[in-house]
Chains A and B, each alone.
Chain A
């Protein structure tokens, strides 16, 4: 046992875990900064500038403030579930990063069923929202939770189905292998990314992913102007911050997954000295994720929100049939070739 604990593999593993966890947590905090900054620029204003240079210390101040804020548990609430809910929301959201390949070897665990693992884990997140809304014993959170559960279950279907086409082409569920399968180019200049083989699936995936993460135009569960704060209306201090972190973590997960499935993950041109060749894949990966994040923030600052029934219609009557048709056509092509 002791030998294992001091073995290089274990230490490397620990280093990876600490590195990825720290990196993810840090980037989650700075996602809020990025969102506030980008939205501010869209809205013709500077955004946070006073707290640190370019407002860079803003997320730290916010986080610290939440730590020292009074933690209110409403008397009418179901205490156990009320406390459990943010934990249930955050932990699965963070767990999914354990199988995501940030680089050729920068992956905590390359499970052979990595993709399934992510889908299984992230769908647990909805319990956090539902429990939070229900345990608050208040009407707005309950409505938010209701909306959210209906929405997430509907969109999870199309999200999962949109991926099936990719899986049929790649013949694997391991995220590492999914990426390596996309290495190389066609005709020397088009990268062998799945987006070119599965454009429809890509669109379905991106749309469903926004809905999965409760972002505008699908942020019905939170919808500030209708439900005050949605499912987390009654939460204060760190519990509220945990919900927010979970939301951003989910955003990161779906973007990472979109990159891995459709945009070739960490693949990209490698050049320069050895150390650069080591770092470049991770830079490509982070860069591709950033494009998605940027896109989400832009969407949030542009579009109005769907109505509940329109959202459900869109999922069941548009996205789901489209995803099924995509599977059918892909399987036909795969079968023929």
Chain B
């Protein structure tokens, strides 16, 4: 048959020609099973792509396989840092040919706006990529588009062998110095401000002066924050007294960090402790100067357990040695990292490439124990960082006896994106997008907490309407966050449908947030001094409609699970924690309230009219997984109550503060008079410049107290911005909580703690 004849036949007689390769390619493209290498925000948008609004299943790609051997597309979702690099490479190498790689989001593609010391500047440094998805994070439609693009690529593939085109195998040369801005030296003025002696009055200050006259160096109060400098030699005794003495009763150590003043001060570093007394509702900041030549200080681990990881972080970031710390290792950066990145003289983008993953101390511990008892070699099980229950970024190494965990250690840092260093190199308003990516489940709240800290530095109060908008959207974010937590926790328990039931209302909340600012996940809606723009005209109607629909979804979830015997068996009594232990470990938020402590910033230290809203703080009894579930469920309902009241009382007025140091002048003025024009120019060029000072501001985020410790030296960039992510303190207790339990319990517990890597690892 001649070619034309075939052509003719095909046209007139439905004659069907095909070839072997097009059949194979059709099968391959129709059945692209993803391996979701999820690490950060993009993973959440990928989850949204799988959820009912978008449904990746339509393309036959919903069969998510966590075994690299059974999957076809490696979807890299989110930032890959140097520590994660070897893991990613290993997963890629284990995949069966033919395999494809989709790089989702700016971070995976090129490092995104993390031009930082620990972030890989694009995964094509280590593996070839087939489709890049732009966006930060890309919307679900973009993910679907990438799948279609990949399908086209597979369809047009003419080779049946697994070989790749040379073009596809070429890798980028690693960019080891990603520095964009260098850091400036601290001015004398900041140091002078910090060293200035002030006579502070007040209950804690007077009591402190009376008790520890010899240990006190200086004391000052700024914007209501009491900060006390004490001598290094007796710091431990003083702090221990502060905890145990009933007059002080600082039972909770919120945060430990350090600040570097280079050679501008005789003692180069300050180790900073933030303490909270739950009984007296007092807060205090203790600072201990540490000289550069001997950067050591006593570890506070035996006073507060919460000092454990925070001290390791200060060691990692500043090189401060904590004497007596049981396990002083690097925590966020990888094992081959050189230098202490948060020191002021460390170039922000200086990377050290990582080629290895290391065993955690538990391996050695278990081996020694087995030897001493004359037992066989212990069975070590490595879970993560790429393990379906470990949220893609945590690593649990456990010595197991059958199904029981005998001993365990956790490792973090697989998503360390250098938030604090990045804030030091960016202007105040440029930090807001970075804050969105801390807890990306409820990005709005991070922005609010950060803006509050700068506003506190200025000592200003934002307009009522802006406050109410912040409250409403924050509470919606809290609901969204809790829903994700509950949904994924239940998926970890095996009840998969709950994922879709909990993502559906979340998607509706996103619609509302999107209508306000255009962003779904990372909103960047908050501005210092208010919010970016007013809410749309139909905001109240939309929000009211949500108030109607969310309870239905929540009730559905409740009906499906609350009385479920298996759910109860799997959750009640699992990783229960007492109130004392929870406080000692620095728990805040729903996990602390599940343990029976009614601490909630919104009630205890209310701002933004939270004292005028009527709402209750749900409290659990035993602090187990079931109680955490109940507390979160109830908090969703309480948030709805708050939103309802806030909507009723939503005042009219501006949404930006009328302060020319912070907000842009009105456009009319810019076009008509020179003062406003200059003002506009300065604000755009130099940004917001707060006065010299230091503040710690806090806000009840979805996971607990989200604190920002900000030091300003009267320049356009923060001198130091420390974020106290609630997860960090919760997750450090994890390896202790799971000991003695079953492997499945660890999985159930991790989901219930709602650890968000962006916030945990900054």
Cα distance, A71 to B743, chains bound together (Å):
30
Task: Determine if A223 and B67 form an interchain contact, defined as CB atoms under 8 angstroms apart.
Answer: no
Query: Is B567 interfacial (CB-CB < 8 Å)?
Result: yes
Q: Smallest CB–CB gap between B743 and chain A, Å?
A: 6
Cα distance, A164 to B95, chains bound together (Å):
47
Cα distance, A27 to B429, chains bound together (Å):
60
| Chain B residues within 8 Å of A328, by CB | none
Task: Determine if A303 and B495 form an interchain contact, defined as CB atoms under 8 angstroms apart.
Answer: yes
Which of B57, B59, B67, B570 is in CB contact (< 8 Å) with A45? B57
Given contacts A55-B60, A226-B389, A307-B570, contact A45 B28 (CB under 8 A): no
Task: Determine if B55 and A45 form an interchain contact, defined as CB atoms under 8 angstroms apart.
Answer: yes
Query: Is A233 interfacial (CB-CB < 8 Å)?
Result: yes
Task: Determine if A48 and B97 form an interchain contact, defined as CB atoms under 8 angstroms apart.
Answer: no
Cα distance, A230 to B549, chains bound together (Å):
39
Which of A72, A143, A240, A305 is in CB contact (< 8 Å) with B494? A305
Query: Is B434 interfacial (CB-CB < 8 Å)?
Result: no
Task: Determine if B66 and A228 form an interchain contact, defined as CB atoms under 8 angstroms apart.
Answer: yes
Task: Determine if A226 and B566 form an interchain contact, defined as CB atoms under 8 angstroms apart.
Answer: no
Annotate B515-539 by CB proximity to A: 1 below 8 A, 0 otherwise.
Answer: 0000000000000000000000000
Query: Is A121 interfacial (CB-CB < 8 Å)?
Result: no
A-side interface mostly: loop
Task: Determine if B57 and A48 form an interchain contact, defined as CB atoms under 8 angstroms apart.
Answer: yes
Contact count A vs B, C-beta below 8 Å: 176
Query: Is B62 interfacial (CB-CB < 8 Å)?
Result: yes
Which of A39, A68, A302 is in CB contact (< 8 Å) with B27? A68
Give the size of the chain A interface in residues (CB under 8 angstroms): 58
| Chain A residues within 8 Å of B60, by CB | 48, 50-51, 55, 58, 61-62
| Chain B residues within 8 Å of A310, by CB | 569-570
What range describes how many residues of B lie at the interface?
35 or more
Query: Is B72 interfacial (CB-CB < 8 Å)?
Result: yes
| Chain B residues within 8 Å of A228, by CB | 66-67, 387-388
Which of B24, B30, B63 is in CB contact (< 8 Å) with A57? B30
| Chain B residues within 8 Å of A307, by CB | 569-570, 742, 744-745
Task: Determine if B566 and A304 form an interchain contact, defined as CB atoms under 8 angstroms apart.
Answer: yes
| Chain B residues within 8 Å of A45, by CB | 51-52, 55, 57, 500
Nearest chain-A residue to B492 (Cβ)?
Answer: A225
| Chain B residues within 8 Å of A216, by CB | 494
Query: Is A42 interfacial (CB-CB < 8 Å)?
Result: yes
Task: Determine if A43 and B52 form an interchain contact, defined as CB atoms under 8 angstroms apart.
Answer: yes
Cα distance, A236 to B387, chains bound together (Å):
18
| Chain B residues within 8 Å of A78, by CB | none
Q: Smallest CB–CB gap between B337 and chain A, Å?
A: 29
Which positions 365-424 of chain B face chain A at CB distance < 8 Å? 379, 381-382, 387-389, 402-403
Which positions 285-337 of chain A face chain B at CB distance < 8 Å? 300-310
| Chain B residues within 8 Å of A47, by CB | 55, 57-58, 62
Which of B59, B379, B387, B493 is in CB contact (< 8 Å) with A305? B493
Query: Is A70 interfacial (CB-CB < 8 Å)?
Result: yes
Query: Is B69 interfacial (CB-CB < 8 Å)?
Result: yes
Cα distance, A300 to B496, chains bound together (Å):
8
Query: Is A139 interfacial (CB-CB < 8 Å)?
Result: yes
Task: Determine if B57 and A46 form an interchain contact, defined as CB atoms under 8 angstroms apart.
Answer: yes
Query: Is B762 interfacial (CB-CB < 8 Å)?
Result: no
Which of A71, A224, A233, A309 is in CB contact (< 8 Å) with B96? A71
Query: Is A229 interfacial (CB-CB < 8 Å)?
Result: yes
Q: Smallest CB–CB gap between A230 and chain B, Å?
A: 9
Query: Is B747 interfacial (CB-CB < 8 Å)?
Result: yes
Cα distance, A309 to B574, chains bound together (Å):
14
Nearest chain-B residue to A52 (Cβ)?
Answer: B30
Q: Smallest CB–CB gap between A96 and chain B, Å?
A: 26
Cα distance, A42 to B499, chains bound together (Å):
12
| Chain B residues within 8 Å of A16, by CB | none
Q: Smallest CB–CB gap between B34 and chain A, Å?
A: 13
| Chain B residues within 8 Å of A71, by CB | 96
Task: Determine if B381 and A308 form an interchain contact, defined as CB atoms under 8 angstroms apart.
Answer: no
Query: Is A219 interfacial (CB-CB < 8 Å)?
Result: yes
Which of B51, B69, B570, B747 is in CB contact (< 8 Å) with A72? B69
Nearest chain-A residue to B30 (Cβ)?
Answer: A61
Query: Is B734 interfacial (CB-CB < 8 Å)?
Result: no
Task: Determine if A64 and B24 form an interchain contact, defined as CB atoms under 8 angstroms apart.
Answer: yes
| Chain B residues within 8 Å of A63, by CB | 27
Annotate B261-272 by CB proximity to A: 1 below 8 A, 0 otherwise.
Answer: 000000000000
Task: Determine if B566 and A217 form an interchain contact, defined as CB atoms under 8 angstroms apart.
Answer: yes
Query: Is B31 interfacial (CB-CB < 8 Å)?
Result: yes
Query: Is B666 interfacial (CB-CB < 8 Å)?
Result: no
Which of A39, A72, A225, A301 is in CB contact (< 8 Å) with B389? A225
Annotate B720-754 by CB proximity to A: 1 below 8 A, 0 otherwise.
Answer: 00000000000000000000001111010000000
Query: Is B171 interfacial (CB-CB < 8 Å)?
Result: no
Cα distance, A265 to B579, chains bound together (Å):
58
Annotate A218-249 by CB proximity to B: 1 below 8 A, 0 otherwise.
Answer: 01000111101100111111001000000000
Cα distance, A306 to B260, chains bound together (Å):
51
Task: Determine if A49 and B96 form an interchain contact, defined as CB atoms under 8 angstroms apart.
Answer: no
Query: Is B504 interfacial (CB-CB < 8 Å)?
Result: yes
| Chain B residues within 8 Å of A62, by CB | 27, 30-31, 60
Q: Smallest CB–CB gap between A316 and chain B, Å?
A: 16
The 3 A-B pairs at the shortest CB distance, nearest first, are namely A305-B494, A64-B27, A61-B30
A interface, CB within 8 angstroms of B: 36, 39-40, 42-51, 55, 57-58, 60-65, 68-72, 139, 143, 146-147, 216-217, 219, 223-226, 228-229, 232-237, 240, 300-310
Q: Known contacts A226-B744, A307-B745, A308-B742; can you find 11 more A-B pairs with CB under 8 A?
A: A45-B500, A47-B55, A61-B60, A62-B27, A64-B24, A70-B96, A71-B96, A225-B747, A235-B70, A304-B493, A305-B566
